[in-house]
């Protein structure tokens, strides 16, 4: 399969619809939906759409550069592929496919603790720059051993997820019968029969090659099939993770350390005081806390408080290159992409994920051309803290991201 096979996929929503047709309903909803009433997903979209970027005209944009520096590396795009659990169920060896797409685009891929494929294979078969995402287990010594394993495999950056202290409330998983551990049911069987391509190319292929998939980063003696409960409470996600754990990780991990899921200025400042290299301003794509603010609401205040003392990344809700431009304009130095590339890998492995990255690259380049922005740094000039009247005024309680008074009136864009 080549990227030319995806000529009908013109944007991320096209990829999403194609993924919905190919994947079993339960699995698709697991990667696509949110928590509780799912208001946060819709709010992320509304908040991004509310941000208007005002163009500077008569600027030479014949040579636009999308090059960015993220965590000390120059790369051709201001992106990284975010950690997403069970990508190996979306496509056979899905984590390797995502990593290959990242490598082809010149951006890092973040391996999840709950990956179906071990980081050693991902490193050996993808050639990608790897980050490693960490969930802290109750047994801290086993957690530290996992860090050593990730470092030995070549991971250069550790990403600690800090916004999942307890299991989120996702009621649709109970209704559609999908969850981890996987459970056999009549509903699940019908779902598999209705999606024969996925059943044959992913599930049956995995069963023939290595049996029922497992979480590849769990210690061998505790590793179980996804159809069974864990053998030990040692590997349950810890609910007592504190800044003491961050201090321990900073002492143990010799590479870059990132905290993912920060939404408060005080937490960002505390991260800075603990020697953290970067934070990801994120509400987990609306998958965890349904009443959480969106990253666009809090990002400007965090950027102002941190200034240039710590790198700030962002994610949640990106569907267009213009969304990437919006996050960068608000002060992020880079953006993580999660669901978008999962949709791509679901429909075509590395080529499908590569198609999505190509689309986002093209859209960002067009957006920059329209804005009169030859480089990414120029995007920030289209946002201003000076209040401006008119229909672009955000709703009460949101962070001010109105149009700069010296760029354009609301009626001109």
Domains of the chain: 3-375 (3.20.20.70)
* pLDDT in single tens digits along all 413 residues of the chain: 556 688 899 999 999 999 999 999 889 999 999 998 999 999 999 999 999 999 999 999 999 999 999 999 999 999 999 999 889 999 999 999 999 999 999 999 999 999 999 999 999 999 999 999 999 999 999 999 999 999 999 999 999 999 998 888 888 877 776 666 566 666 777 877 788 888 888 878 877 777 667 778 887 766 555 544 455 677 788 999 999 999 999 999 999 999 999 999 999 999 999 999 999 999 999 999 999 999 999 999 999 999 889 999 999 999 999 999 999 999 999 999 999 999 999 999 999 999 999 999 999 999 999 999 999 999 999 885 444 443 333 343 444 433 333 333 223 23
Which contiguous run of DSSP H or E holds residue 26? helix 25-32
Angle at 80 between CA 74 and CA 84, to 5 degrees: 160
C-alpha distances in angstroms, 253 versus 269, 295, 381?
Answer: 20, 27, 37
313 and 257 in contact (C-beta within 8 Å)? no
Pairing state between β 256-262 and 73-75: unpaired
Closest CA to 334 of 324, 323, 342: 324
CA 20 to centroid of chain Cα atoms: 19
Distance in angstroms (rounded) separating the CA atoms of residues 239 and 249:
17
Phi/psi of residue 66, each to 5°? -100, 10
The pLDDT score that the predictor gives to residue 49 is: 94
**Which residues make Cβ contacts (< 8 Å) with residue 56, sequence separation at least 6?**
371, 372, 373, 378, 381, 382, 407
Residue 86 tokens, joined: 């069970």
The pLDDT score that the predictor gives to residue 343 is: 98
**Largest pairwise CA distance in the chain:** 65
The pLDDT score that the predictor gives to residue 225 is: 54
State the pTM of this model.
0.88
Residue 146 tokens, joined: 């996992």
Q: Catalytic residues, which ones?
A: 284
The pLDDT score that the predictor gives to residue 1 is: 56
250 and 268 in contact (C-beta within 8 Å)? no
Peptide bond into 114 cis (omega under 30): no
Per-position DSSP letters for 367-400, written without gaps between them:
HHHHHT-SSGGGGGGG--SS---STTPPPTTSPP
């Amino acid at each position: 399969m080549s990227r030319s096979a995806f000529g009908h996929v013109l944007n991320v929503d096209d990829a999403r619809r194609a993924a919905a047709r190919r994947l079993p309903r339960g699995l698709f909803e697991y990667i696509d939906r949110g928590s509780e009433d799912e208001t946060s997903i819709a709010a992320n979209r509304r908040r991004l759409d509310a941000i208007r970027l005002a163009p500077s005209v008569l600027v030479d944009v014949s040579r636009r550069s999308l090059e960015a520096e993220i965590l000390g590396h120059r790369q051709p795009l201001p992106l990284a592929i975010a950690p997403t659990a069970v990508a190996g169920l979306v496509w056979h060896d899905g984590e390797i496919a995502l990593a290959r797409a990242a490598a082809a685009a010149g951006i890092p891929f973040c391996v999840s603790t709950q990956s179906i494929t071990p980081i050693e294979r991902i490193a050996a078969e993808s050639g990608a720059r790897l980050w490693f995402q960490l969930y802290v287990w109750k047994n801290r010594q086993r957690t530290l051993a996992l860090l050593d394993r990730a470092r030995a495999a070549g991971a250069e950056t550790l990403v600690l997820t800090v916004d999942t202290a307890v299991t989120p409330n996702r009621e649709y998983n109970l209704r559609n019968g999908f969850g981890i551990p996987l459970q056999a049911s009549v509903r699940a069987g019908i779902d598999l029969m209705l999606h024969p391509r996925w059943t044959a190319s992913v599930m049956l292929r995995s069963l023939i090659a290595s049996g029922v998939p497992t979480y590849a980063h769990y210690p061998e003696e505790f590793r179980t099939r996804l159809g069974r409960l864990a053998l030990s409470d040692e590997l349950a996600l810890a609910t007592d993770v504190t800044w003491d754990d961050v201090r321990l990780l900073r002492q143990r991990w010799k590479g870059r350390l990132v905290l993912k899921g920060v939404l408060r200025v005080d937490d960002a400042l505390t991260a800075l005081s603990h020697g953290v290299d970067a934070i990801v301003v994120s509400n987990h794509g609306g998958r965890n806390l349904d009443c959480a603010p969106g990253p666009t609401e809090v990002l400007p205040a965090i950027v102002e408080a941190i200034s240039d003392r710590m790198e700030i990344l962002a994610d949640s809700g990106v569907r267009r290159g213009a969304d990437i431009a919006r996050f960068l304009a608000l002060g992020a130095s880079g953006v993580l992409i999660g669901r978008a590339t999962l949709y791509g890998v679901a429909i075509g492995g590395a080529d499908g994920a590569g198609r999505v990255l190509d689309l986002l690259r093209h859209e960002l380049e067009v957006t920059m051309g329209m804005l009169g922005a030859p480089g990414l740094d120029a995007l920030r000039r289209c946002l201003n803290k000076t209040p401006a009247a008119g229909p672009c005024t955000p709703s009460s309680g949101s962070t001010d991201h109105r149009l700069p008074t010296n760029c354009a009136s609301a009626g001109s864009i």
